[in-house]
A and B are shown apart, each in its own frame.
Chain A
Amino acid sequence: MSTGIGRARARRREPAVWLAAPGALFFVVLVGIPLLIVIWTSLLNINASDIAHWATAPFGAMANYADGLMKPSVTGVSVLDSVWISIKFSVLSTVFGTPIAFFAALSVHHAFRGRALLRSLYLVPYVIPGFVIALLAQLAFQDHTGAVDHLLAALHLANVGTYWLIGGNAFWAMTFTEVWEVWPFIYLLLLAGLQSIPKEQLEAATVDGADWWPRLRYIVIPQLKGIYALAFALSTLFHFGNFTLPYVMFGNTRPSSVVTLPINIYYIAFQGFGFGIASATAVFNVALLAVPASVYLWMARRARAREARQERVRQARVQEAGA
């Protein structure tokens, strides 16, 4: 990895290094210390409430931890159940959003009049603030008076008064809203991936008589796989952490089918005042997300290495052409 000017002057002490100090300090205070505190509180409370047990049976503390995760919290839903709700919610949202995103990216790759406008339109759901969409969804899904109820009834798909905001239906109303709101994120990444495919490949294939399907199948899809994996991981990660939608969309009558992990932790901490259990759950959440996050970092590094490789090849070609 080259560091530009840094290489030439590596030996000399650069006072400019200290420019990073204020940012780094803020970062340590706002992220580093809080992370240590949350780990500490998650352990402290458990030890304090059950210290004798901890002394005699080292694994007792773990059972206690597990108890906190298994028992229903103030929301009436156990932490493990909300982990499952969050996983379903985030993976399904990504999966349902994928075909829309693929279609959208593929439909604006070739040049045509109005392409810029269409690209902007595709971004609209993503750029409307999440709380606005959640408030709108709350009204749209209301029974008897909501637009969704009437629309589905008019299409003979459901009866008026299906009650989309309570019971199991609420989960699907929430997932639908989430899909509508964030598919453009996957679309954006796919579009970036499409634009990095060398033009010559598509043009050469066309000269050789390849129609859209072979071009898509043998040139585009293989080169989009990497970035799609990245988009999948990132998008799932974002959905998993979405607090705004379930919190705002359902007001104070939140059905248990939408108690996602962030909602549950929030209520344990700020309504049940169980900061210990909430911290333990938050730490558990970090550990849970570390898996997709490390996959993301790994994929990103690979994507970067691939880019660097392509860049080297391109430069070599330019040099050859010049020689």
Chain B
Amino acid sequence: MSGTVGGAAGVIILASAVLLGVRRLMVPRAREITGPADYLILLLIAAIIITGNIMRFGPEHFDLALTRAYFGTLAIFGNPLDAPALENRVFLVHMGLALVLILCLPFSKLLHFGGILFTHQLIRRQ
């Protein structure tokens, strides 16, 4: 079950990222105000999605249970270096990029997704 849903989500989110990129490139009013930061953040997200999908659909199937074991070790402050998950290169790239994404969050426009819910109110109160 989780495999099917996760797989479908992986495809849908990749399509969404591609569409966002296409819109940014094709719609002049969006393209002309786009800066490097806007493209880079899209590329980062796309790279995370693609590496994720490679692990799921690629020829060398990656067992999700391995990540569970790896994060379990981290949670109890064990030594994660021997975890078998780390032997998979795609996983390393995928997780590395995800960490970069988390690092970027407070400094990039990704944080705005929360703002959309309350900025109108915040501005009106002034």
Are A and B interaction partners?
A: no
List residues of A whose CB falls within 8 A of some B CB.
none
Which chain B residues have a beta carbon within 8 Å of chain A's beta carbons? none
